[in-house]
Structure 1
């Protein structure tokens, strides 16, 4: 299977295909300027985009298509023989969101990037979380606690986890301010409201929010819908998984107003025992548009209740007891039925865009993210001292422990403002932008029941955290001549973070300040559908909340990354390919070493030097009108130059040290690949064969194969058929089989080692994924 994947990808990257094509240009009807990024929707359901010069190529056999672009009226046009231009009429309204343009990399920016449209997302949006919808983009590895992509999921890009991936929603930071993670379970079915996603791999351009140490995810929802619409999407599949979505939009009312809304529900039993999910969300966006300005308000919310499946299973049981879940099993007479995570996150976003002239435009936005929730646990034989209590004496007998049920709460407000100013004239584009954000977080725990000696509602810890983040940046893109363009980007960021104690270390308080300077520079060469670029970037990142619990004498340092990117690509309407080389050099990267902190917990430690070096290859080819081949491969080397492992020796009551030279960075496979064959057997039908390969992943930084996850190759099959103009405007049927050949694999896990009774033990835990499973959906558009 591995050879098949590599063979398909090699075929994609080297085969040029020739077919009867004609070249056309989409231009603005009034200014006669080209329209880059316009969408051409073909009768067979496919779509293509115009390049930076507004050009595209169309098969001779296609005589009509639908042309659309933000800011222009959608046009359904017949294409005459010999015609070489398409005219689009501009709306006399301000439609393009400045907040998205300010932080995204355009086609000539010197960074590795992937753009994903709403249409591409919709093809596979059957209920799985957002990371699984990005699974087949370059250098991506995803995982799921429940084993089927619903509930808690994770994503790594170039081996870096979500705490190092910067994510924005319409230019507004999304990462959790303290852990810096991406908890996308709090935004169930958000993909149904997304208009586009851009993934920037590496440091990328300056964005608001957390530092990008592996990638940036820019997610946009602020899309203009010209006409009124209504949609209903329903899907059902394995593990009693349901997704129900209703969407509606008013279109343009009175030449100025629009409103869009969505309501979603997702539920699943999960592949793993009791790993159930009950998720709900809504999205509302209202806008007022005029010739020079736009005002938009977004309100969206997600609520999740998931049964905990965080513990994984021993790797030794991965073949015999794959669905076992230890969560809740401390309860004597059976698993505790409410061992759940409960959280609600509400988002409010207000945007104002204004165009001063054709050259100058401005954006400002204010936002509030409100989160609150808890996870509940049944704990057996807990010591009273752990909860700050003395042992109770009942009937003359001293009680030393008790069973109890506890809730660990997080209650926070995250708010602030962002802004951007864009100037564009001839070959010069300048962007000034920035943000100020404030996070107020409360961490506390409550005992809601105890067998003996603790009153219901007892709060045993109550710790607050305060974090402010201020940044501003300037970007300068300059066209040097017809083929060369330079890029410069300077960002200053300052972070203040104060923590008023920790659950297991209430006396430890911190108050830290970080000042970061993040410069970036690059150059791009374009000519005759060729594009080459080079860039070098610097990024800095503050530690996470847990890193500060290391102890008074073990406070962590900030991390730094130097990123070199070299790219070459060629795109035509018949085939495309690209190669991107990267070298990411880290200073003081924080990693788990086995070292324990002041309260006996494992903590991340700064290591001096480490690096990631690789090449990302991707491409697509259309051998015939009825088939398209797509694929990507990442080959990489990911190393810690000098690594020290700490091992608990319980016999001696100390930690032993082991040193390694040039060992592999954990969770960083040297080979990642994806290949897709899209077949159109007849009109309005599509058959997709999808393969994914992930190489060996080490669970720690020792390169020990006994602490690793085996490579895996999985295949999916998706069938789509669309009926147009019968009972509804459009009815789409989707059937997808995941893990078609029932591969047993685990994309995530953890490990720890220790010495006890003079024997060395290693415990590996993994998170199994489901075998063959399926989803079916019906999507109706009025």
Structure 2
């Protein structure tokens, strides 16, 4: 039935609708210079980007009136209303604002339009069409090679993101060029930035090593978020949505527009709450975002302050295989308390961000950027623990015969992350180049408190460990693009990165001390050849290096893990026109000393990741869209890959005889790396202002470990959603928008994430799997009012 419905949708008989094509140019009003990369769009309709000659081509229906908008960074937006049946051509002449509004801090680390790297971009309007409260990773779900998950099952709270099988600890994330990855785990916890998507103006996801960036090493992808958008006119708007699992999102945004020709202020206040699909997996998320700027002809000064506060009931333990069959929403967290589950088995964290930017045009072709940043994070997660030994907390037994007690404990993080980034960009003539870098420092505390014990014996808020960690991360890069001919461009990117990481003990192993220093050289090179105004091919080769994360250093007292190295080859073809676009690329990611879980227990009693000498990813990614008629657009992507570990040794706990036994595996699949990922979107605009999107995502089998055992895997799944966005024609508000999301319309029961434990019992290899189930059919509806 699902396949038939999909086929019927793809074959909608709307092809008979007549259409015409409007063409024209976008130029600088003062100089007449063509503006390459300017956006020309039909209001609530298709859009296109101008070529190197400033030309555009856009399909329109033969009847009706339409508003076309031309926009370009640093220029005033122009709108024109035309009758489609009388349209032949329309030229736009844009006037410079006379203000320095170019986001220099973004351009220095993003891959350019024709750079030889594989990338996808999402604009503000695309973000808004699906932003009804789900965490930011789920808004990226339709990008090639992306798999997302949610601990609570409905996209609110803790969420996961993988790109080409690489998890979030291998994805470099920056906000306006400022690194946001946690310095120790190297992950990014978007739950600490609730509703941040409402302040994001554009997103770029580079797959593979990509260009040099700031912060943690890009080892699978780079995700760059931009918020420094210039708003010329004052605005105010409110977004409110409600849906399944008692999910609420309330957002208020406002901006001053340009005051006295120089000042702007923008602000957002958000609240998201949800009961979650999984039992007790509730979320209470609050955040704000403010940005104030002074802008002159050659300079801009901007201060961003934003903060997120989250309280989520823990759902990160998953559920076992047998329970999954009978009670998909069961949550084991807190159930070790006698009677009802413990009601405060929660995660609590607050993260505050401060960003100060100064951009200056030294000359018309030479631009400078410097930024200072400070991130303050603190919080804890709380657990009810049953029958814990006093000795494990460094406490003597309170009385003879009493050696254990039920207790409640909190595990705390208290950290400071601060530093600066800079870039200098030159854009003129045949050689465009930029230099940049960053210096960042992390000061972190890890400590634990016992706040209650059934049988006493603890002082108030007793701390049984109090540890520190420090990390310095600096990098310097040079990037250059040389136009050898009008069609051939060569690209080079050289980065030096130095990391000093000092660890002063672990909760379970306080005597382990680490002081590690790394010096990484990460070169990249590539070429782009322009076949014509619509087509180009590219190829690049990049090397990335990455230090181990905090948990890896608990591996052994005597031996530290080695750093990982990735050699990444990318080659692709891109074709863009006003009616369609296609991109195809192949990639080869060759790892040396990749860190993976093998089941090995190290000499300090912990399961540790182990360096695997040889492993690789080989894949093909295809992405495209086609405006069948102005009211109907088809888009899709597919990723085929082979992800292999050439050889590794698995360690299995021997429940019969004690200790561990070894099993050697060869040519196995890398865990969580599906061989096929596909997505499709069918967009139909039946009337002016209404857009309907049918969205589908298929992910093939994923293995929970690196043994390629189907018994330790996640089943393939296909999920379909329907989205409705309607701008109501009226005169009372600047904008009145209605949104409806019907998620998982075929009620697919699926699990995109999990974990496994293998062991030997009765002479046989056995396994224990845990899964994170996603919600079946669910609904979200929203109302947006703009003033």
Q: TM over 0.5, yes or no?
A: yes
Distance apart, 1:25 and its partner CA: 1.7
**Where does residue 73 of structure 2 map in the other structure?**
70
The answer to which of 397-406 and 217-226 deviates more is 397-406
1:392 maps to which of 395, 398, 416: 398
Distance 2:7 2:567 in 1: 33
The answer to which of 68-77 and 578-587 deviates more is 68-77
Distance apart, 1:623 and its partner CA: 1.5
Tell me, yes or no, if structure 1 residue 43 matches structure 2 residue 27: no
* 1:18–1:574 CA contact under 8 A, matched in 2: no
Matches within 5 A, 1:124-143: 124-143=130-149
**Where does residue 371 of structure 2 map in the other structure?**
365
2:528 maps to which of 524, 529, 532: 524
Distance 2:5 2:487 in 1: 36
Partner SS state of residue 319, structure 1: helix
Partner SS state of residue 553, structure 1: coil
Would the alpha carbon gap of residues 321 and 227 (structure 1) be closer, same or farther in structure 2, given more than 3 Å must change? same
TM-score by length of 1: 0.97
Distance apart, 1:667 and its partner CA: 0.1
Distance 1:390 1:759 in 2: 41
2:553 maps to which of 548, 551, 556: 548
- Segments of structure 2 that go 5 or more residues without pairing to the other structure are none
Distance 1:215 1:185 in 2: 20
* 1:609–1:642 CA contact under 8 A, matched in 2: yes
Distance apart, 1:229 and its partner CA: 0.3
The answer to which of 484-493 and 591-600 deviates more is 591-600
Distance 1:110 1:10 in 2: 33
1:221 maps to which of 227, 231, 237: 227
Distance 1:725 1:363 in 2: 43
Distance apart, 1:531 and its partner CA: 1.3
Distance 1:385 1:32 in 2: 79
Distance 1:78 1:479 in 2: 39
Distance 2:39 2:402 in 1: 72
Distance 1:490 1:459 in 2: 46
Tell me, yes or no, if structure 1 residue 88 matches structure 2 residue 94: yes
The answer to which of 479-488 and 438-447 deviates more is 479-488
* 2:291–2:303 CA contact under 8 A, matched in 1: yes
**Where does residue 460 of structure 1 map in the other structure?**
464
Partner SS state of residue 185, structure 1: helix
1:341-360 Cα deviation digits (max 9, x unpaired): 00000000000000011110
2:299 maps to which of 293, 303, 309: 293
Tell me, yes or no, if structure 1 residue 514 matches structure 2 residue 518: yes
Distance 2:510 2:371 in 1: 37
Distance apart, 1:46 and its partner CA: 4.2
2:634 maps to which of 624, 629, 634: 629
Matches within 5 A, 1:288-367: 288-367=294-373
Would the alpha carbon gap of residues 684 and 58 (structure 1) be closer, same or farther in structure 2, given more than 3 Å must change? same
Distance 1:139 1:726 in 2: 43
Tell me, yes or no, if structure 1 residue 476 matches structure 2 residue 499: no
1:125-178 Cα deviation digits (max 9, x unpaired): 000000100000110000000000000000000010000000000000010000
2:773 maps to which of 768, 771, 776: 768
The answer to which of 535-544 and 725-734 deviates more is 725-734
Tell me, yes or no, if structure 1 residue 485 matches structure 2 residue 489: yes
* 1:473–1:490 CA contact under 8 A, matched in 2: yes
Distance 1:2 1:594 in 2: 39
Distance apart, 1:2 and its partner CA: 8.6
Partner SS state of residue 119, structure 1: helix
1:539-559 Cα deviation digits (max 9, x unpaired): 000000000000123310000
Poorly superposed stretches of 4+, deviation over 6 Å: 1-12
The answer to which of 2-11 and 450-459 deviates more is 2-11
Matches within 5 A, 1:472-621: 472-526=476-530, 527-621=532-626
Distance apart, 1:317 and its partner CA: 2.5
**Where does residue 30 of structure 2 map in the other structure?**
30
1:742-779 Cα deviation digits (max 9, x unpaired): 00000000001112454542100000000000000001
Tell me, yes or no, if structure 1 residue 209 matches structure 2 residue 212: no
Tell me, yes or no, if structure 1 residue 429 matches structure 2 residue 432: yes
Distance apart, 1:385 and its partner CA: 1.3
Partner SS state of residue 316, structure 1: helix
Distance 2:524 2:518 in 1: 19
Tell me, yes or no, if structure 1 residue 153 matches structure 2 residue 159: yes
Distance 1:566 1:601 in 2: 41
* 1:9–1:633 CA contact under 8 A, matched in 2: no
1:265 maps to which of 271, 276, 279: 271
Partner SS state of residue 363, structure 2: coil
**Corresponding pairs, count:** 776
Distance 2:662 2:43 in 1: 65
Distance 1:203 1:525 in 2: 21
Would the alpha carbon gap of residues 3 and 240 (structure 1) be closer, same or farther in structure 2, given more than 3 Å must change? closer
1:715 maps to which of 690, 696, 720: 720
Would the alpha carbon gap of residues 672 and 52 (structure 1) be closer, same or farther in structure 2, given more than 3 Å must change? farther
* 1:423–1:430 CA contact under 8 A, matched in 2: yes
Partner SS state of residue 427, structure 2: strand
Would the alpha carbon gap of residues 724 and 554 (structure 1) be closer, same or farther in structure 2, given more than 3 Å must change? farther
* 1:99–1:363 CA contact under 8 A, matched in 2: yes
Would the alpha carbon gap of residues 52 and 458 (structure 1) be closer, same or farther in structure 2, given more than 3 Å must change? farther
Distance 2:576 2:533 in 1: 9
**Where does residue 58 of structure 2 map in the other structure?**
58
* 2:323–2:330 CA contact under 8 A, matched in 1: no
2:655 maps to which of 629, 647, 650: 650
* 2:52–2:533 CA contact under 8 A, matched in 1: no
Partner SS state of residue 155, structure 2: coil
**Where does residue 755 of structure 2 map in the other structure?**
750
